Amino acid sequence: MRAAPVLPADEATRTAILEVERRRQQALLDVDLDTLRDVYDDSLVHTHAPGLTHTKEQLLRHVATRAPYKGATRGELTIRLIGDVAIMTGRLINRLGSPDGSERTVAGQVIQVLRRCEDGAWRFVSFQMTPDGEHVWTPTDEEKAGLETIAEQERT
């Protein structure tokens, strides 16, 4: 058996996946459960920044009852393919509502996994956000450059 190579997404696939991500973001803002049902695979595992993990149905109930999403900004996204599986990584800044009516921001790096389904549609099977946190080690020059790039992108 030959393993499938890991390749950057071609332009058509990249465009299709970014459209699914755009639909997901808009559906979260609009509390559009029908669209979320369509873009999330039945096998979805969604891990929120604080570590809470939801199945597809749990996440839909969470969105319906809490309507927490108020806005999202994405940084540059890298999309790699392994056969009919796509791994998308990049920065996400979420504006979220809180129980007291205030808003908060959660920012960090995200890994999203999608699969191309039997009907040809791409659907999310996994989501994991690692929120920004304290840096214990002094960053290397390369890491400093990456942090500076993130800070610059967020200023613009």
- Residue-wise pLDDT tens digits, 52-86: 999 999 999 999 999 889 999 999 999 999 999 99
pTM value > 0.85: yes
- Residues in the chain, pLDDT under 50: none
State the DSSP string of 72-130: EEEEEEEEEEETTEEEEEEEEEEEEE-TTS-EEEEEEEEEEEEEE-TTS-EEEEEEEEE
Strand 53-55's sheet: what is its strand order? 7-8, 69-82, 85-97, 103-116, 122-131, 40-47, 53-55
Q: What is the pLDDT of residue 136?
A: 75
H/E element, 68:
none
Nearest 5°: the CA angle 149, 150, 152 is 65
